[in-house]
Chain A
């Protein structure tokens, strides 16, 4: 249980292209999902908190017009990197917490497999 699917797993595209990454919770509902970015040999940096039916909350320093987040349903959040440039090349990972369980407070975030984005 608690599987998070992220698609695509790998994207290579030209500078200036917009790229959409999908994050789905397959067997549970998640009103909140998280988007992280990870550069090589560095830790996961939280970019934004995605809330179903409302606007995402962005961390300091993350451009909300650059990284568009839509959380249209209880099982799907999307991250769109608009007009991507080489400096946006990174490993993007989403995660979600499973709601509705009695031990919710103990539940870890479940991560998708990540999307490796390479901008040429």
Chain B
């Protein structure tokens, strides 16, 4: 079956580092995306991995291991504005590039 798992909630203090894990079991794989979503707003794109390894983009990094069906998003130097839901999404191999989303991880940054 199709399954994308990520923790429901994580709490960290301002300035700290948080790692959000995502495991997936999907019938096809054509890349993994991470999105940030603030309450009541649309998701915004953070990162994309299709090959194994680490992609770094400023304070955010994302890692992928295709053999393990595993990815993580690393948020460094946490800021209060980083409090949001972080969604892991796997793109299928169909011609439209459909995305299947995990349930999201709510990150709460405390002072």
Contact = CB atoms under 8 A, between A and B. Distances in A.
Interface residues on A, range: 20 to 34
A61 B47 CA distance: 30
B96 A111 contact: no
Secondary structure of the B contact surface, majority rule? loop
A46 B100 contact: yes
Given A42-B103, A43-B87, A106-B48, A93 B42 contact: yes
B101 interface: yes
B104 A43 contact: yes
Given A43-B103, A106-B31, 12 more contacts: A34-B96, A34-B98, A34-B99, A43-B102, A46-B100, A51-B96, A106-B50, A108-B33, A108-B48, A109-B33, A114-B42, A116-B40
8 contacts: A42-B103, A43-B103, A44-B43, A49-B98, A108-B48, A109-B97, A111-B44, A116-B40
A93 B44 CA distance: 12
A43 B41 CA distance: 13
A113 to B, nearest CB: 5
A32 interface: yes
Contacts of B103: 42-43
Interface in A42-59: 42-46, 49, 51, 57
A116 B42 CA distance: 11
A24 interface: no
Given A49-B96, A116-B40, A110 B101 contact: no
B42 A112 contact: yes
Interface in B46-92: 48, 50, 87
